[in-house]
Structure 1
């Protein structure tokens, strides 16, 4: 995994930062045997309370960057609701850990950002290889 963090305030740089954060939180590595990608969100969520707070903060970063892109308030509220729901259910011992593995709020939020940018800033679209 190669990270070249763009530091600009332009739309393309913000999009790349959001995509990188989503990858770190949801798809950092693959669990051998089941070939299921997991990331920091699932791992740090195993630490009671503190892990969930850290994961919430990292998910909130994606929402903050989306705000910097000028997404409408209703989309930001939907993204915040995804993070809040993930945090609330993720805080439940054991059940929350399984839920974190299945409900990927950061991936959902990336999808909202990409859909917005593909419509309003199509020049930022990157074709995955």
Structure 2
């Protein structure tokens, strides 16, 4: 049997370090939370009323499990906000939004109606954007 030795490429270590940095990079965090908010709140528009609906409302149609999954995805957005150094007050507000959304979603089938109007993830995105605009102005994206 031949003796095999594994050589670690220094460039690979540098790439892994860069990937770890991207996790907390404010621009990357902004992009991820904006994408998650779009998925949860604005996935498609209901024809006729022109109201955007996302996965959060659809999940609320599945009793208990759907609301739990929606709350977990909303909590992930708050966890991402922690990566950019948001205050405990802001984090508490965001978790309060997620908690209220979860409680409203516990009502089977009817829980989707309040979620249609109380968009906790959009509210949380607004809190995150305000923080990023103030503390990391280089992450601001101008939409046309």
Q: What TM-score do you get using the length of structure 1 for normalisation?
A: 0.92
1:28-76 deviation per Cα after TM superposition (whole angstroms, max 9, x unaligned): 1000111100000000111001100000000000000001111001100
Q: Does 1:97 align with 2:112?
A: yes
**Normalising by the residue count of structure 2, what TM-score does the alignment of the two structures yield?**
0.83
Q: CA deviation at 1:95?
A: 3.3
Equivalents in 2 of 1:93, 1:47: separation in Å? 7
Name 1:124's counterpart in structure 2. 139
Structure 1: 4+ residue segments shifted above 4 A: none
Higher gyration radius (CA): 2
Q: CA RMSD of the aligned region, Å?
A: 1.0
* Counterpart residue number, 1:82: 97
Q: 1:94 Cα deviation (Å)?
A: 3.8
Secondary structure in 1 matching 2:111: helix
Query: 1:83-109 CA distances to partner (integer Å, 9 max, x unpaired)?
Result: 000100111134311001000000000
Structure 1: 5+ residue stretches without partners: 1-6
